[in-house]
Amino acid sequence: MKIHEYQSKELLKLFGIPTPESIVTENKISLLNAFKEFGSRAVLKVQVHAGGRGKSGGVKLVENSKDVNDFADKFFGKYFKTIQTGNDSVLINKILVEEVSNILSEMYLALLVDGSHQSINIIVSPEGGTDIEEVASKNPEKILNFPVNTILGPTDFQIREILDFLSLDIKSFSKLKNIIQGLYKLYLEKDCSLIEINPLIVDNRHELIALDAKISFDEDALYKHEDILDLRDINQENEIEIQTAELGIKYVQLKGSVGCIVNGAGLAMATMDVIQSSGLKPANFLDIGGGADEEKISKAMSAVLSDVNVKIVLVNLFGGILRCDVASRGFIMALDKYQSSAPKLIIRMQGTNSEEGKDILNATNYNISFAENLDQISKILMDKE
């Protein structure tokens, strides 16, 4: 689960990590008032979950009320697209007003889980404020990435090593230690899945400050953290994805024309690959997850059908537990609602009562092709277009 920058910074403060002075605003009047508190200069930042905000004009240094006014008119209540949101756009409800920092240098600092080392890793780079993946591919020597020992947490000698790698003065040791140990504590206590400070700056008073912050959380651990759940902004999320998630369906909307309904994430990706290798594009990822009853199956089908780009729906169910007759009834429940615009269906069902399931579907008037395996799915897809 992602949260906004202003929320991330509030968490950082709670864990003793310095951030710039800032005020979060929800309308033009409060934005203008907040600007006045910073005197004649401030940085305005739209609050959206998507990355690439700066390059898309969502961050601006303003030096008079007119600029503030224009920024408010341009963004408040408007939908915003960034390089990373693609065609999607997200609503802007909040704008952060922040003091202008005097930056001597910009660095990168992140914490995330490293499955290979079974650890939380710290990643730092002296090349902050830029796309870290670019640094990683072009100048890998400018990235220090090491696992934190589970028993010890970040140790003093490691913090000295980071200090050295970032060419910071030894006088900054306790400041850097405070930040790194604070972030590590935050990561563990709140079950984060990513904390990214980009940039971490040295300002002209030689303070280390988190100028931007991105935090996301392990969704499997949210049940322990009501305070974090309260930070969720569903306006930033895809509506269908939210609805399906409530039923335990993992749905991710994409851009293609072939909707798909699959049980299991791996098989879902394999099915998407089959679609792509047939010269088409998947309209979504969908894993119905375990324990699928009629309602859940129906909801999954409805989600796919509600995507106007979907021309074909591909069902690929495989397993010993799933009852295919139940699945078929669920599909029909949803299809009946969308009767007028029901797309072509390709159905592969293998599991308990698969024959009954097919009979139920065959008894309808929907345009259905049955496939026995992935190869046949490919062939039907290629025939279809």
Which residues in this chain contact another protein in the complex, by CB under 8 A?
84, 113, 115-116, 118-120, 133, 136-137, 149-152, 155-158, 160-161, 164, 170, 187-188, 191, 193, 218, 220-221, 223-224, 250, 252, 254-255, 262-277, 281-282, 285, 287, 290, 318-321, 350-351, 373-375, 377-378
CB contact burial 131-153 (16+ within 10 A = b; e otherwise): ebeebeeeeeeebbebebeeeee
Active site residues: 108, 196
Smaller CB separation from another protein, 59 or 269: 269
Name the residue nearer to another protein (CB basis): 3 or 95.
3
Return the axis-axis angle of helices 156-165 and 173-189, rounded to nearest 10°: 120
Q: Which is nearer to another protein, 152 or 308 (by Cβ)?
A: 152
Sequence-distant (6+) residues with CB within 8 A of 1 are 216, 217, 219, 222, 228, 229, 232
Which tokens in the block code for residue 70? 């224009």
Beta bridge partners of 25: 95
The C-alpha R_g of the chain, in whole angstroms, comes to 25
Burial of residue 308, with CB atoms counted within 10 A of its CB: 0-12 exposed, 13-18 middle, 19 or more buried: exposed
Do 217 and 192 form a contact (C-beta atoms < 8 A)?
A: yes
**Min dist. Cβ of residue 258 to another protein (A):** 10
91: β partners: 79
Q: Please, what is the minimum distance in Å from the beta carbon of residue 285 to another protein?
A: 5
* Rounded Cα gap, residues 188 and 207, in angstroms: 25
Residue 174 CB: number of other CB atoms within 10 A?
Answer: 10
* In contact, 213 and 195? CB cutoff 8 Å: yes
Identify the sign of the CA torsion 175, 201, 230, 253: negative
Chain position carrying tokens 């005020």? 23
Q: Closest separation between CB of residue 269 and another protein, Å?
A: 4
